[in-house]
Structure 1
Amino acid sequence: MTNPYLCPSCKTNRTRFNLISQVAQSVKMDPQSGEITNEYDDSNRDAFHLAYKGPERKVQCGTCGLVEEEQTFINHAKLNR
């Protein structure tokens, strides 16, 4: 289902947006070098590594540059028809 957007910051943009797909990569890093020492997926995640639970998509206003969760832009459009 598609929904109209309205930027909650500039309050005028309803047409120009950047859709940002978020893809989480679970890793373990060396604390001194920052080098990735291990990568995790759902089958091999250890007990101390939580799975990513954030939004799959974020939206950036193409006018003012604000980046927020998609639902923020949808809700603002619903409130300001």
Structure 2
Amino acid sequence: MSSPYLCPNCKTNRTRFNIIEQLAKPVKLNPQTGDIVEELQQSNLDPFHVSYKGPNYRVQCGTCGLIEDEISFVKRAQINQSY
């Protein structure tokens, strides 16, 4: 988060953003009710449970509300650098 951002959607916002932290919690659900049956640990996932490999956080534009990975905002700022 030490790079300038520019919203790839509204293309005007460079200052107002929300950083959304993502915390993955592996669980097993009851297929009929949807209730959590068991909360799992990353170290003891069964062979059919894939661990979360997504980003730890995402960025939301504080102007238009777009939510994307940080790289989208950084790349748009790099393309539109003002000299």
State if a TM-score over 0.5 links the two structures.
yes
1:50 matched residue in structure 2: 50
C-alpha contact (below 8 Å) 2:26/2:42 kept by paired residues: no
Query: SS state of the match for residue 23, structure 1?
Result: coil
Q: Encode CA deviations 1:22-61: one digit per residue, 9 max, x unaligned.
A: 0001000001111101111122110000000001110000
Structural RMSD (CA) = 0.9
**Following the alignment from structure 1 to structure 2, what is the Cα–Cα distance between the partners of residues 74 and 20?**
16
**Following the alignment from structure 2 to structure 1, what is the Cα–Cα distance between the partners of residues 42 and 29?**
18
1:73 matched residue in structure 2: 73
Which sections of structure 1, spanning at least 5 residues, go unmatched?
Answer: none
**Following the alignment from structure 2 to structure 1, what is the Cα–Cα distance between the partners of residues 11 and 28?**
41
Say whether residues 1:20 and 2:24 are aligned partners. Answer: no
**Following the alignment from structure 1 to structure 2, what is the Cα–Cα distance between the partners of residues 79 and 8?**
10
Q: Point out the structure with the larger strand share.
A: 1
Aligned AA (1:19)? I
% identical aligned pairs = 58
